[in-house]
């Protein structure tokens, strides 16, 4: 009996993999939001940039985070057993 085909049809394993993948996506979103928030508060209160400078900088950091971290997830399906992954 082929163990790879047996693992692909195990519903508990598939559910675990989907949960793990969703948790990783959540962690990436939280990381990007936390980085943008820290930058925003730092520029707002610790530099002469003020509120507007902090907001612009945080938006730039968020956009870069989305581009490099979050956008990567769009290319991979949530179902880890899909061919071509």
The CB density around residue 40, as the number of other CB atoms within 10 Å, is 20
- List CB contacts of 51: < 8 A, sequence separation 6 or more: 44
| Strand ranges in the chain using DSSP code E only, listed in sequence order | none
21-52 pLDDT, tens digit each: 889 889 999 999 999 999 999 999 999 999 99
Give the DSSP letter of residue 77. -
The alpha carbons of the chain give a radius of gyration, in whole angstroms, of 19
Give the model's pLDDT for residue 59. Answer: 97
pTM score of the predicted model: 0.72
C-alpha–C-alpha distance, residues 40 and 58, integer Å: 5
């Amino acid at each position: 009996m082929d163990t790879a085909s047996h693992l692909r049809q195990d519903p508990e394993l598939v559910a675990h993999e989907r949960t793990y993948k969703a948790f990783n996506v959540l962690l990436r979103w939280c990381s990007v939001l936390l980085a943008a928030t820290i930058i925003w508060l730092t520029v707002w209160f610790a530099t002469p940039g003020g509120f507007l400078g902090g907001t612009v900088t945080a938006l730039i950091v968020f956009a870069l985070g989305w581009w490099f971290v979050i956008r990567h997830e769009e290319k991979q399906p949530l179902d880890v057993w899909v061919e071509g992954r």
